[in-house]
Amino acid sequence: MLKKIIVVILLVSGISWTSSAQKDSNAKAILDAVSEKYLALEGLKATFEYSFGMVGESSPQSQTGEIAIKGDKYHLVLPDQGQEIFNNGKTIWTFINSGNYKEVTINSAGEMDDELKPSSVYTIYKKGYNYKLLGEKTVNGQIVQEVELTAEKSGQPFKKVTLFVDKNKKDLVGWEILDDQGGKLKYQFKSVDTKVKLADSYFVFDPQKHGKIEIIDLR
């Protein structure tokens, strides 16, 4: 279930599907603007709401979380799940705090390339995906543009990703991921701070700060 609900998501590969979509120049201009703005930031912190359910389901599970991003690094907090994920670009620590039991699982970041990481959602379109602008709508006073990404070939780990962009600010305000089993994962930013400055140590898990803890090192 963890891999279904966190921003770091593993989707089933080997999709037997062919896209007839092409690269839409209007969509590319939007994606380039969002990517360039993100890459110029020194850091980003945000709160978000996310939900997972099957397509057509009337009441998908909905929870909240916090994310901090700096380049290819991120620190994700999921309080409802008692989970925290640290990624310094080389190593990923998944910390679980469940009552009196604490554990951290350690992986090499390179071993988890089939994931849509918070730090890569801004640049995923650059390799292996077609994209098109579906349209725009007004949401809470914002003009939001909807851009759909679909895999160029069946080998891609993600079937479809839809990005929602504030037209005027060129900010990513949310995204949806559809898997080949009919599952839909949706994220929406609630508040965003793009002026924060984060030390590299913020993205590294320190077991000394958590008392007795089981360490599972899979590197």
3-state SS, residue 33:
helix
Q: What is the pLDDT of residue 155?
A: 62
Q: How far is CA 153 from CA 75, 176, 182, 215, in A?
A: 31, 20, 19, 38
Residue bearing tokens 């037997």: 16
Q: What is the pLDDT of residue 157?
A: 61
3-state helix, strand, coil in the chain (%, to 5): 15, 45, 35
Task: Supply 44's token pair.
Answer: 């980003």
Contact 98, 211 (CB under 8 A): no
Q: Provide the phi-psi class of 135: left if phi over 0, else alpha when psi is between -120 and 50, else beta.
A: left
Pick the CATH number of 2-217 from 3.20.20.70, 2.50.20.10, 3.40.50.10300, 3.30.470.10: 2.50.20.10
pTM for the structure as a whole: 0.77
Q: What is the pLDDT of residue 15?
A: 29
Q: How far is CA 93 from CA 21, 76, 200, in A?
A: 37, 10, 14
Q: What is the DSSP string of 47-114?
A: EEEEEEEETT-SS-EEEEEEEEEETTEEEEEEGGGTEEEEE-SSEEEEEEEETTEEEEEEEEGGGG-S
Residue 41, C-beta contacts closer than 8 angstroms, at least 6 positions apart: 194
Task: Supply 184's token pair.
Answer: 């839909």
3-state SS, residue 23:
strand
Tens digit of pLDDT per residue, the chain (219 long)? 444 434 333 333 232 333 344 889 999 999 999 999 998 888 999 999 988 877 776 667 788 999 999 988 999 999 988 999 999 999 999 999 987 899 999 999 876 555 566 667 888 898 888 999 999 999 888 899 999 999 887 766 677 899 999 999 999 999 988 776 777 888 899 999 999 999 999 999 999 998 899 999 998
